[in-house]
Amino acid sequence: MTIRLAKLHATGNDFLVADAPAPDPATIRALCDRHRGVGADGLLVLGPGTDGADCTMTLYNADGSPAEMSGNGIRCLAWVATAQGLGTDRTLVVDTTAGRRTVDLDRDATGHLRAATVDMGPVTFDPAAIPFSGPSALDLEVTFHGVTYHGDAAGVGNPHLVLLVDDVGSARVTQHGPHLEHDPRFPSGTNVEFVTPVGRDALQMRVWERGVGETLSCGTGACAAAAVAHRRGLVDDHVTVHVPGGDLDVTLGATVRLGGPVTHVFDVALPTPS
């Protein structure tokens, strides 16, 4: 059997996009493997929409596990969906596991997507909605290998642990991230953001993604980081989040809006890995 894939990235956070039905977890792991497969941070399945949605997005991490939402991934999926003629010139409505999302489209002269802004819904600090098993998601402390971190848990359709650090460049993301991802207070595991404010309108961020590892960018993580920093009075409503793969634009309000570029890398048809 042959599987057709598009590879794209959004500020370096790279994804494979396949049409439905979804491959099995072993195939997803093989395709996302950076040494023996195509290589990606995750795989997105583009499915048909119903009840007013233009399409659906189903997200899988590189390890084959399902995930709820990706702010960078939905922009990658939007590139493929609009190339297939879905949506209007200006918007694409996508149903995800985390709920319905509306994507505002920025097309180039050829009609292809070059950037998009997504209404990501509200950021929640409600423990049950994150989910987080502690009495409060706020003002948390966690210690690992002699380092004590402070931050908040937040939900953006998926769980996040946002930790404020003095310098993201020296943060022990790859050493401590694998442990913090499995903090027992997060029943579904968590993404972990290491964040440094750099003024009222900017943050620097590195992220350890649940089921993936350190990635160059994380859209939901940028939203969570901005919301946590805003709650603590460190930034204003509009924040540029600097990640290793580029810059993301976050605007906070009743819902959070995430903007950023998307780049098509290539299309490929491959035999299904055995």
- List, for residues 201-239, the tens digit of each pLDDT value: 999 999 999 999 999 999 999 999 999 999 999 999 999
Cα 264 to Cα 115: distance, rounded to the nearest angstrom: 11
pTM: 0.95
Question: How do residues 138-164 score in pLDDT, each as one tens digit?
Answer: 999 999 999 999 999 999 999 999 999
Query: Could you give the domains of the chain?
Result: 2-119+259-271 (3.10.310.10), 127-253 (3.10.310.10)
Rounded Cα distance between 150 and 262, Å, is 33
Mean pLDDT (whole number) for 232-255: 98
pLDDT, tens digit, 9 for 90 and up, residues 60-92 = 999 999 999 999 999 999 999 999 999 999 999
Q: Please, which pLDDT band fits residue 273 given cuts at 50, 70 and 90?
A: low
Q: What is the full DSSP assignment across 133-186?
A: -SS-SSSEEEEETTEEEEEEEEESSSEEEEEE-S-GGG--HHHHHHHHTT-TT-
Residue spans of alpha helices (H) in the chain: 25-32, 71-83, 173-180, 219-231
